[in-house]
Structure 1
Amino acid sequence: MLKFLSLALLASSAAAHMVMSYPPPRGSKSSPPIDYDLNAPLGDGKPFPCGGKKASKVTATLHAGTHLNSSLLDAPGANFHDGGHCQFAVSYDEKNWVVLATVIRECLRQDGLNYDIPIPIDIPQADRATFAWTWINAEGNREYYMNCADVKIVSNSNSFSGPELFVANLPGYPTIPEMALVKPAKDGRQYLTDGARKTITVSNGNQPTATAKPTTKPTTAAPSTAKTTKTTKTTKSKKTKSSKTKKSKSKQA
């Protein structure tokens, strides 16, 4: 039985942003202490990674070789910031983050609100690991959003290689301009396409090492068939037709 990963939109007094609802992230009701500003971007007392939140109780179990059905739920007054780039990643020490799936530019936009996040067959087993969702918004203040959840991973593997998580719009990291104001090649995707990110290998011994070449091909998040409260267009990786015959421009992780 597939578990469900949901990213829900929460409305605030200003503009609503995004927050991961499944697996329940640190700071949610299921993983206290509660952070009533959980949908805020990093910065202003919320450092990278995870907004500075410490490990809490395990709130979900991931199984190697399956998928998480990622569902983004709409909420009144939500601000999608014209979409942007999303990454889904895992870490065993919160210093080294390996990306499982990437959505380039169309996250929360043309790609819709549903994605299947592949859990690699060789992802390392762990009684506790950290799963993260990140978002680089396309318009508005230059921000970087990140929610983290404590998860258990069921697998027979001890190591896994993949692209390193890309961080932006924070001190010491690249600043991505508003995406509509620049050519696509300069909207941040140059940091996310195949080969742009360093490949690292992580193990459940929490001793990641750099590798010269990836041993596991990066994966692009594919659309899910799950329904949301808003009718959306879904796309598949590598230019397959969607339910509305639109093509996704998402690249691989």
Structure 2
Amino acid sequence: MNYLGLLFLFPFLTTAHVLMSSPPSLGYAKNQYVTSPDYDLNFPIKGAQFPCKEYHKDFARGAGRSVATWPAGSSCPAENTPFNFAIPPSAPSGAALFAWTWFNKIGNREMYMNCAVVTITGGGSGFASMVDNPRIFVAQIGTNACTVKEGVPVDFPNPGAVVVRGERGSPPNGTGCV
């Protein structure tokens, strides 16, 4: 596997206790390559589990296999959900770790994260093409001082150039760290 160190971020606000099934996440029982299913994938991520509930280590060791192929610069609708996203045109070709994060809106604010191995085609070359993209927004996991308010949409402070915002593309009118 060509490990490129690529990590995508597609943050969404949604109901908690869900999990990414398409593409099937690392550890998901319905991922054809999983040897030991993780039946707690739909629980919030804790500090020591960041990123990817530590499944990124499997990817780095070559244990995770690609479950989807996406062309760089394409729009990829997630199956059976209202979420659409774009693969950055600068994404390097080869194996990549796709990360999906979300925060529940009501109740004890928590961060959720699932990851899957995907293959990017027709993209750039090398990790350098992704340098200008932002780091993952992290809150509520105990590794930093960032917390987010209950009942208010999270406004990611540095979302980058490829952004999906609220309903009909409107800004969330929310807040980042408080």
1:177 is the counterpart of 2:157: no
1:140 is the counterpart of 2:107: yes
2:40 to 37, 40, 46: 37
| TM-superposed deviation, 1:23 | 0.9
The match for 2:135 is 164
Indicate the structure with greater strand content. 1
Give the whole-Å Cα distance in 1 for the aligned partners of 2:108 and 2:49.
17
1:219 is the counterpart of 2:123: no
1:51 is the counterpart of 2:22: no
Give the whole-Å Cα distance in 2 for the aligned partners of 1:67 and 1:165.
20
Give the whole-Å Cα distance in 1 for the aligned partners of 2:103 and 2:141.
11
Gaps of 5+ in 2: 1-11, 174-178
SS in 2 for 1:62: strand
Q: Determine if contact 2:74/2:86 at 8 Å carries over to the other structure.
A: yes
| TM-superposed deviation, 1:51 | 0.6
Q: Determine if contact 2:71/2:123 at 8 Å carries over to the other structure.
A: no
- For the pair shown, the structure with the greater C-alpha radius of gyration is 1
The match for 1:18 is 18
Indicate the structure with greater helix content. 2
User: What RMSD in Å do the two structures reach over aligned CA positions?
Assistant: 2.8
The match for 2:7 is none
Q: Show CA shifts across 1:18-48 (max 9, x none).
A: 100111101112141211111111128x610
| TM-superposed deviation, 1:133 | 0.5
**Structure 1 residues 16 and 42, CA gap change in structure 2 (3 angstroms):** closer
Q: Show CA shifts across 1:107-157 (max 9, x none).
A: xxxxxx41221112221112x210010011112122110000011111241
Aligned sequence identity (%) = 34
| TM-superposed deviation, 1:176 | 1.2
| TM-superposed deviation, 1:177 | 2.4
**Aligned positions of 1:1-253 closer than 5 A:** 17-28=17-28, 29-30=30-31, 31-32=33-34, 33-43=36-46, 47-53=49-55, 54-55=58-59, 56-71=64-79, 73=80, 113-126=81-94, 128-158=95-125, 159-160=129-130, 161-173=132-144, 174-180=146-152, 188-189=154-155, 192=156, 196-197=157-158, 218-221=161-164, 235-237=167-169, 248-250=170-172
Give the whole-Å Cα distance in 1 for the aligned partners of 2:16 and 2:50.
21
Q: Letter of the aligned partner of 2:164 in structure 1?
A: A
SS in 2 for 1:149: strand
Question: Which structure ranks higher in relative contact order (CA pairs < 8 Å, sequence separation ≥ 6)?
Answer: 2
| TM-superposed deviation, 1:65 | 1.8
